Amino acid sequence: MKDYGTLLKKIRQEKGLSQKDIYEGIMTRQTYYLIEANSNMPSFDKFLIILEKLFISVDEFLCLLDPEAFPTENHLYYQLSQAVFKQDMKRISLLVEDSQQLYTSTNNKKYLHLNLVAQAMTYLNSEPTNPDTLACLNELMLPIKQYLIGIDKWYLYELRLLNNSLYCFELSEAIALGTLVGKKMDVLKDLEQYQEIKLRLYLNLSCLCLNHQDYDNTLLFSALAKENAQSDYRLFETIIASLNSEIAQTAKQQQTENPKITHYLSILETLDQSATAHGYKQILKTNGIS
């Protein structure tokens, strides 16, 4: 990592920290001086402590060091989600090419996974749903499915990978993988990042099931999302999970009205989430609910 010490020094100075603030308790002043001079490479455990004292993550540091050589999958997946949202097929195609180049040069499977998801998104956004499209999607998603099933314990990457690729799977496979979350979570499952992505995953699963009018599984994943949202006092996520649950129950009982749905929609409007509320009104219309 060329110029790693120069970057550490720059970050330290920008944060108004002295060299002593960093090296004290972990190494001598001379040793740290040589690190910032790019003459000495710290051991991995010392490197982590230095970054912790600088209040910066490993991914963030590597991205600052060389954004092209160390692009994080989070950043790339964000680009993909934005391109899909804007239906920017040119950008999606570029991400397919970029991820393939990254995988070829690094042999890191996270770039292979990204490449497969980007290809699948290309199919989903440009091809009508037909048996040939579904066959292509199944072929693209097979390595990701095999990877997720083959891992004994899921860490943050596996949770994010499933969440990012969720809509590329057939519904039955997405549900099957979603039900593994509780079994595959590792011992760090109570960390805030894990809770955040798990909540997003359950919310997306409940929305996916609702879109397919699978009301039983909508209720299941909505309940799991509400459980996680309420434990962290997340109002928006709780409302979305509750809405999905109420719509599923109302449709399942073949009812056409539910005052709770109207109440939740009004809360979304109050929270300046008009676009989300409008989307749910379309879902209500599809399910015959006024």
What does the alpha-carbon distance between residue 101 and residue 278 come to, in Å, rounded to a whole number?
40
Look at 1 and 243; give whichever has higher pLDDT.
243
**Rg, the chain, Cα only:** 23
Look at 105 and 193; give whichever has higher pLDDT.
105
Per-residue pLDDT tens digits for 245-273? 999 999 999 999 999 999 999 999 999 99
Look at 66 and 117; give whichever has higher pLDDT.
117
Per-residue pLDDT tens digits for 164-188? 999 999 999 999 999 999 888 876 6
163-199 burial, b for 16+ CB within 10 Å, e for fewer?
Answer: bbbbbbbeeeebbebbeebeebbeeebeeeebbbbbb
Nearest CA to 225 out of 199, 205, 247, 204 is that of 199
How far CA 100 is from CA of 68, 138, 252, in Å, comes to 14, 19, 44
pLDDT at 232: 62
Average pLDDT, the chain: 90
pLDDT at 163: 93
Report the predicted TM-score, pTM, of the whole model to 2 decimal places: 0.77
98-128 burial, b for 16+ CB within 10 Å, e for fewer?
Answer: bbbebbeeeeeebbbbbbbbbbbbbbeeeee
pLDDT at 263: 94
Per-residue pLDDT tens digits for 78-109? 888 888 878 889 999 999 999 999 899 889 89
What does the alpha-carbon distance between residue 120 and residue 267 come to, in Å, rounded to a whole number?
35
Q: For residue 6, how many C-alpha atoms fall within 13 Å in the half-sphere facing its CB?
A: 6
Per-residue pLDDT tens digits for 140-153? 999 999 999 999 98
% of residues, the chain, pLDDT over 70: 94
pLDDT at 100: 94
Distance of CA 154 to the CA centre of its chain: 14
pLDDT at 279: 93
25 sits in the region (left: phi over 0; alpha: psi -120 to 50; else beta) called left
